[in-house]
Amino acid sequence: MKLSIKIDKSVKETEVIIISNEMNEEVENLSKLINSNGANRIIGKNDDEVILLDLKEVVRFYSLNKKVYVYTTKGEYEVNKRLYELEEILDKNHFVRVSNTDIVSLNHVKRLDFSFKGTIAIEFEIGDCVYVSRSYLKEFKRILGM
C-alpha cells in the first residue's frame, strides 16, 4: 500500500480518496477506520459557539430550510453535514432514517404509536414526536425486527 498526503490551503474540507484496482478487505478496513474516526462525537454550532457533542445525547438529526440540525438532550445545534453523510457515519444499530428530513436515535425513543394508518409515530423521552414516512416504514420495521 502506498500513502500520499497533499496539503492544499485553499481546501475547505479534508477529503480522503482511496484508489484501488478492486474492493478488498484492506480497502474496506481503511474505509471503516476513516468513517469511524470520531464517530462517537459530532460538532454542533449555536450562534458563534462550536460544541463537541456526544452521540449518546443525540435524540435526532433533522433538516429544515436546507440546513441540518441536531436535537440533543442539552439543546439544539446546527450541523455542517447533510443527512446522507450522517447516515454513512452513524451507527446503524442506534440511528435510523425515518423520513427525507429525519434520522432518529433509537436510544431516546419512549414509545411507538401504531394508531395512525400507514405510518408510525415515534415519541421521544423528551416529549417530541416524529413520524416514519411510508417510504421508510418497511426498513424501519425491519431494523426493529417487526
Residues 17-36 pLDDT 10s: 888 888 888 877 777 666 65
pLDDT at 60: 94
Question: Which residue, 43, 48, 47, 35, is CA-closest to 61?
Answer: 43
Tell me the pLDDT of the chain averaged across its residues: 86
Q: Is the pLDDT of residue 57 over 80?
A: yes
- State the Cα–Cα distance between residues 66 and 80, nearest whole angstrom: 11
Q: Which residue has the cell 484501488?
A: 20
Where are the chain's structural domains?
25-144
SS3 of residue 140 by DSSP: helix
Beta carbons within 10 angstroms of residue 21's beta carbon: 6
Can you read off the three cell numbers belonging to residue 107?
Answer: 436510544
What three-state secondary structure class fits 110?
strand
* Residue 11: predicted pLDDT: 81
pTM metric for this prediction: 0.70
Q: In the CATH scheme, what is the homologous superfamily, with its name and number, of domain 25-144? A: LytTr DNA-binding domain (2.40.50.1020)
Q: What tens digit of pLDDT does each residue of 80-138 get?
A: 899 999 988 888 888 999 999 999 999 999 999 888 777 888 999 888 899 999 899 88
Q: Please, is 78 exposed, middle or buried when counting C-beta atoms within 10 Å of its C-beta (0-12, 13-18, 19+)?
A: middle
Contacts of 112 (CB under 8 A, 6+ apart): 120, 121, 122, 123
Task: Give me the long-range contacts of 80-88 (CB less than 8 A, separation at least 24).
Answer: 80/43, 80/45, 81/42, 86/42, 86/61, 88/35
